[in-house]
Chains A and B, each alone.
Chain A
Amino acid sequence: MRMLPIKKARAALVVLCCAAASLPAFAKEYLLTVTRPNNLHVVDPEKREVIRTIVLPGDGIPGAISVPKDGKVAYVLTNRMESVVGVDLDTGKPVFRADFSTPQRRVKGFFAVTVSEDGKELYAHQAPVQLGRSEYQVEDTYIAVFDTADGLNAKPRRTFPAPRRISLLAPTGNPDHVIALGWDMYLFNTKSGKIEKTFPIRHWERPGMGEPDVLAMWGTYEQARMLSTPYFVAKTDVPTDSPEAFKAGIAMFDLDAETLQVREFENATTVMFSSVINPARRNEAFLVMNQLSKVDTDSGKLLKRVDLPQTFYAINISGDGKEVYVGGALDKVSIHDAETLEKKGEITMPGGADQSIGWMRVVKR
């Protein structure tokens, strides 16, 4: 398979795009990331370089990225969380666009967008508000289902009600299911629109444990097929001034088994924003913000932690489990050895562009 050169209006981008325009014909991994104002970058992690930059249509700022199994089209949440744009990674051309909002109704998708594994349907959790002449009216949230074949003016084919405050969606191994992470985890049947099962997180009933705080804005699951997120939770059976009173943990949802596992691994002293599971050793989790941490999720032990030269919000991992990628902030993707956590390389975004709070997604081609 070859990725074709893309005609670009901006000369600088043409240079970037065409410098290494072809990809080998055997399966290889590429890292996708996004930067302000509205660019999608294809990174060759092996070569440590951005091999293609695709300018997304619209207003920016890009955030969530979702790609079906064949790795051909990347769906990016952009336009201030009000549009999903699908671009062909080979041609760089937009092939899909769904603008959620109309002049009378503002609709935001708060990171929770995902495409089905077969690439046929796109799911987006939507929070609408009617913009009346002199007042707003907040409406109930729902999941909108788009047909990706509907092209550049796609409208939802169907919708089904969903709780508010959902931040992540992912397709499970069952083609009729998506898992949604909000207050709890909800397993939706995308055909019936019904919640088939709720996995309690906020509403877990664990003696001695309070309600966990989950800030899950970075959906990473494609390598180990585990959707994971760090959380923080108060222990209610120890004095509040005890070092044990506040714990850090990781929640892991196995997309094929459709099971949720939670595990505390240390007293909370370090803030962690996102996590990824090692596909080669599925008991290993990596978590990131100002530090890169490695945790054994079987024993609930912190294995290793290193300070990072800057804040990184997003994390991903190579398919062989040997390299960890951290990015999603400022203009760097930093590559670390999964064993030692030592830095092995870095990639700078073209023009020093800010990844803002964008995702990183690995595609296999």
Chain B
Amino acid sequence: MKAETKNKRLHIVGAVAMALGVTGAVSANAAGDPGREVIDRKCASCHLEGGKLTRIPEIRKSPEGWDMTVTRMGIWHKVELTAEERRAVVKYLADRQGLAPSEAAPFRFLTERRPNMQDTPPDEEMAQMCGRCHSFGRVALQRRDEAEWRKLMHTHLGQFPSAEYSALGRDRNWWEIARDKMPGRLAALYPKNTDAWRDWSRAKHRPADGRWVVAGERPGWGAYTGVMTAVAKGNDKYEVSYELHFGAGNKVRGHGDAVIYTGYEWRGSARLGNEDTRSVFALSENGSRISGRWFLKHADEIGASFEAVRADKTAKSALALVTPHMLRAGDTATVTVAGAGLDAKVDLGPGIEVVEWLGKSAEQLKLRVKVASDAAPGLRKVVVGGRESDKSVAVYRQIDSVRVEPAFGIARVGGGTNPPMTAQFNAVAFLNGPDGQPGTDDDVRLGSVPATWSTEPFDERAKHDEDLRFAGHMEPHGQFLPSFAGPNPVRRGLNNVGNLSVIATVADGDRALNAKGQLVVTVQRWNPTPLR
């Protein structure tokens, strides 16, 4: 009944807008853009006053931010867009009212959907006023002026009236703070007009087509190197093919597509091997590198880091990966350097001698190295073709300590329409560093190591409640699979939640090292938004 009334109102407003000649408001360079056409035809039925668009031009956001806005307008105001219209309007807005790379950089972990991350709001008030219901990053990936931030506050309480009744809302004059204080604070932190955006929006950006040497690490699988080829399909669209090598004999081929928003925000989908994946990458400002994360379409907690260097004539010894990262003193090892424009001159630092070349190409160098038995433990910068890189190798005699990463992980029970969320753990080896103590800031990261995984009750309470029995089980590669959601009559109010210790046991020669992390198996999340 209500929706009908509303729709009717929208139609009337739309008709009025048409009569006023909305198309006259379109700037010359935007005319004909399918996204702009959607704005004029659909959004303007409400967001138009005196021939000018309201609200929409006052905001800058990430592609995900705009997509969530469009989705919200559909849910709240019954704005019906086809998938094509939705893509067009998000592209149009993210390109013209996006974020500069430097503005989006601090919150890439959120855009990339990295699991087990916790964002750090600037202060307690921001954390409680904004970050108690959604990530603070969702706020920080928007730009508005004070009046527009204030309008967002009105929208918040109008749409989510429980905000002033829920915990950390009811203990204060939430609305007065939201209306009177937050808009100014937010506008000071995240204003609409910035030098960064002015410069970025005026600059020309390098397209992403061509060949890229890629590398990364997938927790549970290990490091990979490979090649990605992007073929331009017009309007920032690309057809993309992948060939990834996860160690000997594990070659994964893939094919998919990608769209570049705002000149640098790469959003792709691909079938890699037998898995459907999504990629969230960013091109570097000069367009020579790409970095980010790809993850499974239906389980974004499972994914891999991604780094790419452009393999064209301008590339000069640009490194994507040096593997393995850890070299034991006294050993002979095969080292692979992946990159572009590689010059077959490699310096791995003191105590590491190249004894044999196994492969020399512009994209891959393969060499046998002998590590002196008295080589000093620690990191060495890798120098290729006389150019120091940001890559390193580490020499060690023995692993001093192991850490479980993440140290605190979350899995969610699942079932029915809401699948479980697993948790992938990784064992990482460290040297103690100059202070000789494990677990301190000067520890030297050696890299991921194979481990045997097990779980234990985290504390006495977990032991008493038999969390181990109910919460789920650990796979051999460190992935925890949680149990089913819903009432478990055997367990009363606890159902299948749990609080567990995750134990990694790592063999280092004859020694065995243990490390412990914490895993909380908790309830489902019902609103899997692109930005949490």
Q: Show the binding face of A for B, using Cβ within 8 Å.
A: 81, 101, 103, 106, 108, 110, 127, 129, 131, 133-138, 164-165, 167, 183, 202, 211, 213-215, 217, 290, 307-311
Contact = CB atoms under 8 A, between A and B. Distances in A.
Closest 3 CB pairs of A and B: A129-B158, A136-B158, A290-B493
B171 to A, nearest CB: 6
A134 B170 contact: no
Given A103-B6, A164-B173, A167-B165, A135 B492 contact: no
Nearest to B10: A133
Given A103-B9, A309-B492, A310-B487, A127 B46 contact: no
A138 B165 contact: no
Given A103-B9, A167-B165, A311-B493, A134 B158 contact: no
B5 A103 contact: yes
Which among B9, B49, B170, B487 has the greatest number of chain A C-beta atoms within 10 A?
B170
Nearest to A135: B151
Given A103-B9, A215-B170, A164 B164 contact: yes
A213 B492 contact: no
B157 A110 contact: no
A134 B55 contact: yes
A164 B162 CA distance: 12
B46 A213 contact: no
A136 B6 contact: no
Interface in B150-208: 151, 153-155, 157-159, 161-162, 164-165, 167, 170-171, 173-175, 179
B154 A136 contact: yes
Contacts of B165: 110, 165, 167, 217
Nearest to B154: A136
Contacts of A133: 13, 46-47, 49, 54
Contacts of A307: 492-493
Nearest to A101: B2
Contacts of B175: 138, 164
A310 B158 contact: no
Contact of A310 (B159, B162, B492): B492
B154 A202 contact: no
Interface in B254-271: none
Given A135-B55, A213-B170, A103 B164 contact: no
A101 B158 CA distance: 12
A312 to B, nearest CB: 10
Given A129-B154, A165-B165, A215-B170, A135 B179 contact: no
Interface in B414-455: none
Contacts of B47: 133-134
Interface hub of A101, A135, A215 (most chain B Cβ within 10 A): A135
B157 A138 contact: yes
B493 A308 contact: yes
22 contacts: A81-B161, A103-B6, A103-B9, A110-B161, A129-B158, A133-B13, A133-B46, A133-B49, A134-B46, A134-B47, A136-B158, A136-B159, A138-B175, A165-B165, A165-B170, A167-B165, A213-B167, A213-B170, A214-B170, A290-B492, A310-B487, A310-B492
